[in-house]
Structure 1
Amino acid sequence: MSERQVGRRPIGKAVLIAGPTASGKSALALELAFSAGGVVINADSMQVYRDLRVITARPTRDEEAQVPHRLYGHVDAAVNFSAGAWVSDATKVLDEVRAEGRLPIVIGGTGLYFKALTAGLSVVPPIPAEVREGVRARLERNGVEALHAELARHDPRAAERLNLRDRTRIARALEVIEATGRSLLDWHHEGQPPLLPKGGFRAVFLAPERDELYARIDARFDAMLRAGALEEVEQLAARSLDPLLPAMKAHGVPALIRHLRGELSLEEAATIGRADTRHYAKRQFTWFRHQLPEFEWVKPTEARGWLTAATHGAREPD
Structure 2
Amino acid sequence: MKPTAIFLMGPTASGKTDLAIRLRSQLPVEVISVDSALIYKGMDIGTAKPSKQELIRAPHRLIDILDPAESYSAMNFRDDALREMAQISAQGKIPLLVGGTMLYYKALIEGLSPLPSADERVRAEIERNAAQQGWAALHQELAKIDPISARRINPNDSQRINRALEVFYISGKTLTQLTAEKGEGLPYDVLQFAIAPQDRRLLHDRIEQRFHRMIELGFQQEVEKLYARDDLHINLPSIRCVGYRQMWEYLQGDYGHDEMVFRGICATRQLAKRQITWLRGWQTPLHWLDSLQPKAAEESVLRSLDEHQKG
Report the TM-score, using the length of structure 2 for normalisation. Answer: 0.91
Shift of 1:172: 1.5
**Could you tell me which residue of structure 2 aligns to residue 249 of structure 1?**
240
SS at 2:281 equivalent = helix
Question: What residue in structure 2 maps to residue 233 of structure 1?
Answer: 223
CA distance change for structure 1 residues 236 and 315 in 2, over 3 Å: closer, same or farther? Answer: farther
Inter-partner Cα distance in structure 2 for 1:20 and 1:154? 34
* Distance (whole Å) between structure 1 residues aligned to residue 191 and residue 276 of structure 2: 19
* Equivalent in 270, 273, 292 of residue 279 of structure 1: 270
For residue 98 of structure 1, what is the amino acid of its counterpart? S
Aligned to 1:269: 260
Identity %: 35
* Amino acid of the structure 2 residue aligned with 1:221: F
Q: CA deviation at 1:246?
A: 1.0
- The alpha-carbon deviation at position 120 of structure 1 amounts to 1.6
Q: Residues 213-232 of structure 1: matches in 2 within 5 Å?
A: 213-232=203-222
Helix, strand or coil at the partner of 2:64: coil
User: What is residue 73 of structure 1 aligned with on the other side?
Assistant: 64
Contact 1:84/1:123 (<8 A) preserved: no
- Runs of at least 4 residues of structure 1 off by over 4 A? 313-317
Which of residues 120, 130, 147 is equivalent to 1:156?
A: 147
Structure 1 gaps, min length 5: 1-9
Q: Does 1:311 align with 2:270?
A: no
Structure 1 letter corresponding to 2:302: T
Alignment of 1:1-318 (within 5 A): 12-139=3-130, 142-197=133-188, 200-208=189-197, 209-240=199-230, 241-300=232-291, 301=293, 302-312=296-306
1:242 offset after TM fit, Å? 4.0
C-alpha contact (below 8 Å) 1:115/1:292 kept by paired residues: no
Q: Deviations over 1:36-61 (max 9, x none)?
A: 13111011111111131111111111
**What is the identity, as a one-letter code, of the residue corresponding to 1:206?**
I
CA distance in 2, matches of 1:262, 1:161: 31
Superposition deviation, residue 123 in structure 1: 2.6
Q: Which amino acid aligns with 1:272?
A: R
- In the alignment, residue 116 of structure 1 is paired with which amino acid? A
Change (3 A) 1:138 1:47: farther
Task: Assess, with a 3 A threshold, how the Cα gap between structure 1 residues 291 and 133 changes in structure 2: closer, same or farther.
Answer: farther
Task: Report the Cα offset of residue 272 of structure 1.
Answer: 0.6
Q: Counterpart of 1:307 in structure 2: which amino acid? A: V
Q: Which runs of 5+ in 2 are unaligned?
A: none
Separation in 2, partners of 1:52, 1:142:
35
Do the aligned residues in 2 keep the contact of 1:11 with 1:314 (CA within 8 Å)?
no
Aligned residues: 306
2:301 aligned partner, one-letter code: L
